[in-house]
A and B are shown apart, each in its own frame.
Chain A
Amino acid sequence: MSLLQSILQITADLALGAGVLLVLTGAAGLHRLSEFFMRTHAASITDSAGAGLVILGLLLRSEEFATALRLLLILLFLLFTSPTASHALAQAALGDGLKPRTGKPHARDGAQTP
């Protein structure tokens, strides 16, 4: 095992670990944050940075070109679809009368809209 290989291995592990940590952060935020629009923010951490770093970590591990290509396609697909989905979701929620809570933490008018 050459030096380059071990550097590659360590970088891959670091990227994977950081990615999973971000995914976990996003999931914890999704679980803990108090209101819908805050939760979209948490979910988007999973979709962008988390997914990107996990796939980067796998990319550094992959040995064949075909595998790397598929990983890149997955990343590209996620980068196209998740922001679109979040955008459409937030637009729909806003159009439906759900209001983002701004200003003081007591104002809970939008959060309870059924």
Chain B
Amino acid sequence: MSGWMLIDVALFAILLCSGIAIAKIRQLFAVAMLSGIFSLTSACIFVMQDAVDVAFTEAAVGAGMTTVLLLGALALTRTREKLTPTARSVPALLVALTTGALLVHASGDLPAFGIEDSPVQTHPVTERYLVSSVEEIGVPNVVTSVLASYRGYDTFGEVVVIFTAAVAVLMLLGQRAPREVRERAAPMRDRQRVLRVIAKLLIPFILLFGLYVQFHGDYGPGGGFQAGVIFAAGVVLYALVFGLDAARAAVPMRALRPLLAAGVLLYGGVGVATLLLGGAFLDYDLLAAEDPVAGQHLGILLVELGVGITVTSAMIMLFYGFAGRGIGRGVGRS
């Protein structure tokens, strides 16, 4: 057993423990927090398996946004679930065990973990991505070139899905937006000052970091998806510390709605532009005359910008949706 494998095994043990704890614990607050731990651990495993971009996204999205949204939903619903009756749990357990056994049996047909001549690695597309992409696209981060160029069409679809989901959540939760504002006396002592000062100090740097991730995605882990979530996280922090109304004044809904669409339109617009230039949809080679690589760079930059804008506004809108629904009911504490 090598050291790497020991690390892997330890991470898997943590992951399994937190997974089982998620299934067992009935206080949903605790479960939401454990799911944060679960996400962070799985992100560590992604780093161990060389998927740095995925780890980046999982940490920002899975551990960050999902936890915040879960907490937002818990604030609006019950925070303790009922005991699961045996009549339900035993059949479910049987089904899960059977399915698991079948899958374990089937996993024998998968290539052994990490071997070099698995179908994934010997497929001709591997060579294309890892070797030819240097001349064709000239971006060191292969994940970015595959995401934005080779499979740009696919990514466009994903961005549209995010757009649709944000619109749907807005339709479900955005109706009763102006909740009653409870009058509150000004605090006598400002004991939250530490949090407020630190947040004020950090938020500009968080936004700056988001921009860095957005534009450094060609050379390191990062890109539009991650940057969008980090940007949104900055706004979420602002809303948490200074109140939702302050955040809504700073980043108003009427700016987010057009932005949500603008990102998708920018992405699609690049595709239409390449069509008008006489190429295929999202064929960036034509964007710069005589220099396909420069065209690819420009195309990837614009497309990632579109992704970033849509993801940022979608995430902020999701947060506003859940936070704005709050009617001020008390939450049972564990």
Contact = CB atoms under 8 A, between A and B. Distances in A.
Nearest to B241: A88
Contacts of B195: 84, 87-88
Interface in A65-114: 77, 80-81, 84, 87-88, 91, 96, 114
B202 A88 contact: no
Contacts of A88: 192, 194-195
B198 A84 contact: yes
Contacts of B191: 91
Interface in A1-25: none
B82 interface: no
Interface in B173-209: 191-192, 194-195, 198, 201-202
A14 B19 CA distance: 36
Contact of B333 (A77, A80, A87, A114): A114
Contact of A81 (B192, B198, B333, B334): B198
B202 A96 contact: no
B64 to A, nearest CB: 14
Majority SS at the chain A contact face: helix
Contacts of B202: 77, 80-81
A96 B333 contact: yes
A80 B191 CA distance: 17
B201 A80 contact: yes
Contacts of A87: 194-195
Contact of B198 (A80, A91, A96): A80
B160 to A, nearest CB: 35
Range, interface on chain A: under 10
Contacts of A96: 333
B26 to A, nearest CB: 14
Choose among A80, A84, A114 the residue with the greatest number of B CB atoms under 10 Å from its CB.
A84
A96 to B, nearest CB: 7
Contacts of B201: 80
Contacts of A91: 191-192
A96 B194 CA distance: 19
A77 B334 CA distance: 31
Nearest to B197: A84
A77 B205 CA distance: 10
A97 to B, nearest CB: 10
A91 B190 CA distance: 12
Interface string B303-334: 00000000000000000000000000000011
Contacts of A77: 202
Contacts of B194: 84, 87-88
Contacts of A84: 194-195, 198
Contacts of B334: 114
Interface in B80-125: none
Interface string B215-236: 0000000000000000000000
Interface of B: 191-192, 194-195, 198, 201-202, 333-334
17 contacts: A77-B202, A80-B198, A80-B201, A80-B202, A81-B202, A84-B195, A84-B198, A87-B194, A87-B195, A88-B192, A88-B194, A88-B195, A91-B191, A91-B192, A96-B333, A114-B333, A114-B334
Interface of A: 77, 80-81, 84, 87-88, 91, 96, 114
* Leading 10 A-B pairs by shortest Cβ distance: A84-B198, A88-B195, A87-B194, A84-B194, A80-B198, A84-B195, A91-B191, A80-B202, A114-B334, A114-B333
Given A84-B194, A84-B198, 17 more contacts: A77-B202, A80-B198, A80-B201, A80-B202, A81-B198, A81-B202, A84-B195, A87-B194, A87-B195, A88-B192, A88-B194, A88-B195, A91-B191, A91-B192, A96-B333, A114-B333, A114-B334
